[in-house]
Structures are given as C-alpha cells and as structure tokens.
Structure 1
Amino acid sequence: MKKALLVVAAVGLTYAGVAQDKYVTSALTNYNTKSWDDAKADIDRAAVNPETKGKPKTLYAKGVIYVAMQQVDKYKAGNPYREGTQEMIKLAELKPDYKAEDVNGALLFGAMMYFNDGINAYNDKKYAESIEYMKNAVKIHNLGGGHRFDKFMEGMVSKKLDTMSASAETQMARSAYAMGNSEEVIKMINSIKTNPICRTKDNYIILLESYEKYDKENANKMAAEELAATAEARAAYPDDPNIKNMEMNTLMKNGKTTDLLKKMEDDVAKEPNNADLNFNLGVLYQTLATPKDTKEKKPANAAELMTKADVSLSRAVKLAPENPSYNSALGSVYYQLAYEYNEQMNLITGTSTADNKKYDDLKAKRDAQFNKAMVPYEKAVAVYDARGKVEGNDQDIYHQTLDCLKQIYSILNKTDKAKEIAEKLQKSGW
C-alpha cells in the first residue's frame, strides 16, 4: 500500500512539472510572435515556480525574452536587458553549451548595453553605478575563463570584447578615482596594467596620483610600492613631462634626492633646450639648498646649489620668457639670497666702525639681490595681469610674487610701487 502511494505521489510530481513547463513553451511561442505582454507573463510565472525555476530552458527563455524586450518601446525604459542578461550569465555558467550561439548573441548585446550604461553613469557623475555596470560587462567577457567567445562569429567578436572589457576595467578605476577611493584605484590599476590594452600613460598617472593620496593619508604606508610604480611608469614613458614631475615629487618625498638629482641632470644633459626640464632642475637645486625646516642645517654646498639654481632657472626663462612661473621662480632665488643677507644684517648689534662697515657691505649685497629679483618678478606680474584672469595654481604664484615685490619695494623705499602692489593684493582678495 505504501509503495502504491509513493508511485502516485511521483506521478503527481511529474505531472506538476510538465504543467509548469508549458509556461516556458508558451512564453517562447509568444516571443516568436512578438506577443510581449503574454511572453513576459508566462516566463515570469515559470521563473518563480520551484518546478521550472533555474532550469536551463527557463533561464534561456527568460534571457532571450527580456533582452529582446529592451528594443520594445513599452519596456525599454525599465532596462529589461539587465534581468535578461543575468539569466543568460547563469545559464552560461550552469550549462555552457546550451544553445550557445543564441546565448552568446544575447550576452554580447548585454555586455554592450552594460558598457554604454556605465559610460553614461560616469558622465552623469554616478560613479558607484558606473562601476556596477562595468563589472557586468567584464563578467560577461570573463565567462569560460575569458574564452567563451573565441569561436563566436568566427572569432570576430573576441578581440572587440577584449578591448571593451579592458576599457570597462579602466573606467571602473577612473570612477573609483573620481570618488576619491585611492586604495581601490591602486588595486584596480595594478590588476590590469599588465594587459597591453590597459597599459596606458593615463592609467599610470592615475595610479601614481592615487599612491600619493593614499600615502599622504596613511603615513607613507605604501612608499615602497609607490617608488616601484613610479620607476615603472618612468621606464614605460621616459619623456612624459607629467610622469617626470610625479617622479620628482615621489623621490623628493621619500628622501631619494641623490637619485632624483642624477635623473634630472641627465634629462637636462639630453635636452638642454627643454625649458620645463631646466625649470624643474632649478627648483630642485633651490629646494636642496634651503631646507623647509628652519632648524635644519643647510647643506655644505648650499651656495653652489643656489648658483646652479640661478643658472638653470635663468636658462628656463631665456627659453620661455613669457612663462610667469619660470620668472617667479627665478625671482625667488634672488629674493632668497637677499633674505639671507638681511638675516645676517639683523645679527649685527654693535655700532663700531667695523660693525657698521660689515652692515653696509651686507646691505649693498642684499639690495643688489633685491634689484635682481625685481626684474623677473615684475615680468611675472605683467604676464599674469595681461591675462585678465588668474586661476588655479597660478593664483598662489601670482599672490606670492606680488607679496615679495611689495616687501622689496618697501625695503628699497619705492613707496609708490609698494602702494600699487598693496592695492592689487587687496583687490585680488589676498
């Protein structure tokens, strides 16, 4: 008796499965006749029923129907392709060979749609959304270990998908960068930079900027990795000025001044007429000669370094006379020397003939340096004023140049000029 009941129960179960399976068949029939409302109703019912849910045929039917609905005006705004594509991804993972050609076509369409939505989300500054869309494009590419589409359409799709996936991963890194998530950017770029498609100058710049930000916020925790990445970027793009500047900052920050100086001197030797290289080298010479910490002793060769700074920056100004930052930097060398003479003057407290002579000698040297500083400083201000509007980092350079000029004019008793500069500073909100 018990056996009979079991048989009846088994038959009933089989019947229920067949009953539910008809909705999958009906859904596909309605799909073929473009009866979208009926197709959707049938497949939605089959997709939630325990007897048909998750089965290859059901996954396939829902996938093709929902992907096709993306091109139906009534449904496209709801982006049904996403739900359909997810069903196709499940099917590809569950049973890779099931109606492979049809599934691949739907997956390719889904990957392109996800990628486009990712780009649009990025442009709309919806960076988290962009990352999620791009993740799906990459996931589709990676099906079958990245080889699912090798033979699809005689292999014509595979390379395009490789490029799209690489672009998606790069876009994910840029979204993370825009969100200020430096640690995530570092992980993303390091995971894709060996891919020739992703090995770009821009990706290296984003990576180095992210290392700089992360180390600044985390006590230089990734200093070794940052140095290695900087060396790698410079080796890949030895002539890129942005990467050169970033290398300079990284080496400087990590106390690798000897290495940095050698690299920069070699660069200038190779390109003596490169104004940027001469400018950077001049700034480095001056920086090495004048430690930020006033308690720190100057290097023994400080005077030599300042002379070299003068030579390099003078060459930069000669090569690019209308560059205000170059002129300002050259002026700062003379201003620094004048300031040092002024400090020595302040140490003289005696009034003897010898003291007075020493004071006057120092004053003459100071004033000579101030007069030298005026020329490039005034040139920098004239260039900035001619622009009409000073923005970004140039604002700081402009204000600092004006402030130094005001002090020079005051010390040299050029009262009218000092007043004129003071008014400019006031108008600029300094």
Structure 2
Amino acid sequence: MNKKLLIVVGGLLLASATTFAQKAKIKEANRAYEKAAEEMVKASAMSAGDPKGFNSDAVTEPLLKAKAAADEAVVNAETANNADAWFAKGVTYIELSRVPKFADKKYYNEGIEALKKAFSINPKVVNKEGAENSIFNAGIFAFNGALGELNEGNYDALFKALNTARDAFAFNDKKLFKDRKDRDTLLADIDYYEGFGYYSKKDYPKAITVLEEALKNPITQGKLDPYRILAFSYGEVKNADKQIATIEAAKKKFPNNKDLEADELNYFITQGKETDLINKFEGAVAKEPNNSLYVNNLAVLYRNMGMEKNGKFADNASEWHKKAEDQMKKAIELEPNNAIYNYNLSTIYVIKGDYVANKMNSLGTSKTDNQKYDEMVKIRKGYLDQAIAALSKMESILEPKLKNKTINPEEKGYLFEGIQTMARIYAQMNNADKAKEYNEKLREYEDKF
C-alpha cells in the first residue's frame, strides 16, 4: 500500500511540476509582453510616432520572446485549454502586427483567432486590462492589411483579412464595441470591400450577392461607390434592367454626382438608347422649366454628348457644346450661388477649349493655316478665361464652407477638383505663378482638411 501510494504521489508531483512549468510560460509571455509594451511607448516618443521606431531590437526582442513562450503554452496539453495562455498569444500577435518589419507575417489573423479561443474558454478574458484595445487594434490592422491586399490583387489574403477585421469589430456578437460609433461604419466598409474584392476578381455573381446584401445597410446606402460597383457588376453579367435601376437609385441619393451622370450616359450608349435618355431629360425640363436640377442634368447630358471620345470629337460636337452652355447658364440663372452648377459651366468651357485645340492640331503650316491658328489661340484663351471665371465663382462659394467646416463631402470633392483644374488651366496659359499658387493651395487643403 505504501509503495503504491508513493508511486501515485510521485506521479502527482510530476504532473504538478509540468503544469507549473507551463503556467510559468504564460507568466513569461506576459512579462515579456509588458516589457515590449514599455519599449513601444519609448520608441513611439523617440520616433515622433513613426511606426518604423517599432523595428528596434528593444521592441522586437521581448515581443518575440513573448511569442515563443505563448506558442509553447498553447500547444502543451496542460495549458492548451487555458484562457490566459490563448489571451497571451492573442495580444502578443496583435502587437507584432504593429511592427513594420513583420507586416508580411499578417500576425493579426492568428491574433484574433487566439483571442476568440480564449473567449470561448473563459468569456471573462474580455475584462482583462488591454483586451478591448487589443481586439479593436486587430480589426484596424486587418482592415488596413486588407486594403493593401486589394491593391496587390491578393484576393484570398484580402478576404481572410476582411474576415479577421469583421471578427474583431463584431466580437462577442457585436456586444464588445456596442458603444463605439465607428464600429458599425467599419463593419459596413468591410462588407463593401468584400463586394469590391469580388468585383475586382471578376467574380461578378458573388460581387452582386455581397453588394446587394451590403446595400440593405443604411450606412452603406449613404455611400456612392457601393451603388456604382453593383451597377458595374450587373453590367458585366448583362443584367441591363438591374444596372439602370441601381444607377437611378444612386442618382436619387446623389443627384449632382458627375460620375453617376457619366455612368448613366455610358449605359444608354452601350444599349444604343442615347435618344431615349435625351428625350427623358428634355421632357423633365419641359414639364418643370424652373427646376434648376433638371436643367442642370440636361446641360450635363448635352455636355457629355459633346465630349471627346477616343481622341476625337463628334462632327456635331459644337452643337452639343452650344446646347450645354445655354442650359447651364439657365440653371445658374435659377440658382446663381450653386457651386456645382458653376463648376459644371467651367467644364463646358474647358471642353470647348479642347475642341478648339483639337482643330488647331489638325492645321497645316501654310500661311492661311497659320493665320487660323493665331485666331484659334485667342478663341481658346477666351474659353479658358470663362472657365477660370466660373471656377472662381465656385471657389468663392465653397472655400468659406471648407474653412468653417460646413462643407459636405461632395462639395469638398468639387472644390478640390476645381482648384486642380484651375492650376492646370493656368499652366496651359503659361501663367506659372498662378499655377503654382493653386497647386500649393490644393496641397495645403488636402493636408488640412
């Protein structure tokens, strides 16, 4: 009996020693992690917030030590179901994601999986110090990583990173970050980029499925790109009815958006229905001649019909230009301080200037052609001067709104594009000082606002 008892007690002592050793690994991981966290604070201060400061050995050595200890703890039978072990692994991997030289490892994917495992073992781990920040950071790292994968065309990695970000922001059935206003926006963006990823991958049916679901979200409904990508996807699968329905739904939400106007025109051209679109717009203006929005839309349609396509203007381009100018002037008469209408008027003059430049380039070198060229130089300058005048009016309306922060995103886009256009026009007019002024203004505004 005594001999058997000694054997059993010895076995218990051996097991206890093994368990203690593995729990010591958890403590080792925690201590190394804490040391790395301290060094990260120092590195951030010394590098003025530059992430490259985290590449230092002072940061990476304790982090890698914490990683090794946590990795060992989670694979050992004694601590494989220990929430603290998985928590240590999760937070360590997520902090490793912060280090630029480890970016290719995509540690955030394993990090969030480890924290999910810890939570499944003991839900109270979310109450640990730093748990909430770590999980949210995992989502941010994964989301940013996903955008990088999208740019590189790495679609499998893109979808994996998006799922990691979704798991992070929706942690614990969306309960963890329920009080954060940005959570729902981030989740909506993840859904959109998933759809955009499938569109970029040319898996159009899947893109349609994802984006249709995404657009049920009011947050996504407030953004232009999901509508456009869904419409493009319908176009790729030859579903013309849903394509135009999506464009029209978007136009109701974004009535002055020039990209949607172009999308609509391209749709009707592709379908061979340009006349139908013109009749539709002209009919709307005939019914409500004082509706400035309808008049503007008709002017933009005329303008687009007269635009250069594949390096050439249509034979009747000048007729479209005249119609566009007349309608846009009427829209501005109805609403003089509408910045977007003034911007649209400027584009008509820019196009008219390009039309003249196209004619100039086709002239020969005869005396007669040289005289025509000189005359056209003056005509083109007149159009560009008119474009500058319209853009200056737009600038005078929107610039104060930008500075007092009452400008909306669409107006901001028009202002920045208008400033960029002014810089280009001045450059074409050989006014280097004004071109420099507007280029510098654009850079300043992009940095500040």
Please tell me the TM-score bracket, short chain as reference: 0.5 to 0.7
Conserved? CA contact 2:208–2:233, under 8 Å: yes
Aligned mates of 1:169, 1:319 — CA distance in 2: 39
Q: What is the correspondence of 1:8-407 to structure 2 with a 5 Å cutoff?
A: 11=12, 15=16, 16-34=18-36, 35-71=62-98, 78-101=105-128, 102-150=130-178, 155=179, 158-199=180-221, 200-215=223-238, 220=239, 225-226=242-243, 228-244=245-261, 246-247=263-264, 263-269=280-286, 270=291, 271-272=294-295, 274-278=298-302, 314=319, 316-320=321-325, 383-386=357-360
Q: Deviations over 1:382-429 (max 9, x none)?
A: 6534468xxxxxxxxxxxxxxxxxxxxxxxxxxxxxxxxxxxxxxxxx
Once the two structures are TM-superposed, the CA of residue 68 in structure 1 deviates from its matched residue by 3.2
* Amino acid in structure 2 at the alignment position of 1:195: N
Secondary structure class of the residue paired with 1:194: coil
Once the two structures are TM-superposed, the CA of residue 185 in structure 1 deviates from its matched residue by 2.2
Q: Deviations over 1:173-200 (max 9, x none)?
A: 3333333222232122222223333222
Q: Counterpart of 1:400?
A: none
Q: Deviations over 1:277-297 (max 9, x none)?
A: 346899xxxxxxxxxxxxxxx
Aligned mates of 1:281, 1:36 — CA distance in 2: 61
Conserved? CA contact 1:20–1:52, under 8 Å: yes
Deviates more, 1:158-167 or 1:70-79: 70-79
Aligned mates of 2:138, 2:199 — CA distance in 1: 26
Q: 1:10 to 1:98 in 2, by over 3 A?
A: farther
Runs of 4+ in structure 1 deviating by more than 6 angstroms, as ranges, are 3-10, 251-259, 279-282
* Amino acid in structure 2 at the alignment position of 1:28: N
* Amino acid in structure 2 at the alignment position of 1:319: A
* Amino acid in structure 2 at the alignment position of 1:139: D
Conserved? CA contact 1:233–1:243, under 8 Å: yes
Once the two structures are TM-superposed, the CA of residue 123 in structure 1 deviates from its matched residue by 3.5
Conserved? CA contact 2:97–2:141, under 8 Å: no
Aligned mates of 1:238, 1:38 — CA distance in 2: 57
Q: Which runs of 5+ in 1 are unaligned?
A: 283-310, 322-378, 389-430
Conserved? CA contact 2:91–2:134, under 8 Å: yes
Aligned mates of 2:201, 2:120 — CA distance in 1: 32
Conserved? CA contact 2:265–2:301, under 8 Å: no
* Amino acid in structure 1 at the alignment position of 2:122: K
Conserved? CA contact 1:186–1:211, under 8 Å: yes
Q: 1:277 to 1:250 in 2, by over 3 A?
A: closer
Aligned mates of 1:245, 1:62 — CA distance in 2: 51
Once the two structures are TM-superposed, the CA of residue 7 in structure 1 deviates from its matched residue by 7.1
* Amino acid in structure 1 at the alignment position of 2:146: G
Q: Deviations over 1:130-183 (max 9, x none)?
A: 333233212211222323112xxxx4xx12233333333333333333332222
Q: Counterpart of 1:287?
A: none
Aligned mates of 1:120, 1:65 — CA distance in 2: 22
Q: 1:176 to 1:21 in 2, by over 3 A?
A: same
* Amino acid in structure 2 at the alignment position of 1:183: P
Q: Counterpart of 1:296?
A: none
Calculate the TM-score normalised by the size of structure 2. 0.52
Conserved? CA contact 1:85–1:106, under 8 Å: no
Identity score, percent: 26
Q: Deviations over 1:350-383 (max 9, x none)?
A: xxxxxxxxxxxxxxxxxxxxxxxxxxxxx99865
Q: Deviations over 1:200-239 (max 9, x none)?
A: 2222111111101112xxxx4xx55445434422332344
Q: 1:140 to 1:93 in 2, by over 3 A?
A: farther
Conserved? CA contact 2:305–2:320, under 8 Å: no
Conserved? CA contact 2:261–2:301, under 8 Å: no
Aligned mates of 2:320, 2:29 — CA distance in 1: 78
Aligned mates of 1:175, 1:6 — CA distance in 2: 62
Root-mean-square deviation (CA, aligned residues, Å) is 4.4
Q: 1:145 to 1:314 in 2, by over 3 A?
A: same
Q: Deviations over 1:100-138 (max 9, x none)?
A: 352211111111111222223333444543333233212
Aligned mates of 1:251, 1:27 — CA distance in 2: 63
Conserved? CA contact 2:108–2:164, under 8 Å: no
Once the two structures are TM-superposed, the CA of residue 32 in structure 1 deviates from its matched residue by 3.2
Conserved? CA contact 1:230–1:250, under 8 Å: no
Deviates more, 1:141-150 or 1:258-267: 258-267
Calculate the TM-score normalised by the size of structure 1. 0.54
Once the two structures are TM-superposed, the CA of residue 317 in structure 1 deviates from its matched residue by 3.4
Secondary structure class of the residue paired with 2:219: coil
* Amino acid in structure 1 at the alignment position of 2:112: T
Rg larger in structure: 1
Aligned mates of 2:212, 2:156 — CA distance in 1: 20
Q: 1:129 to 1:30 in 2, by over 3 A?
A: closer
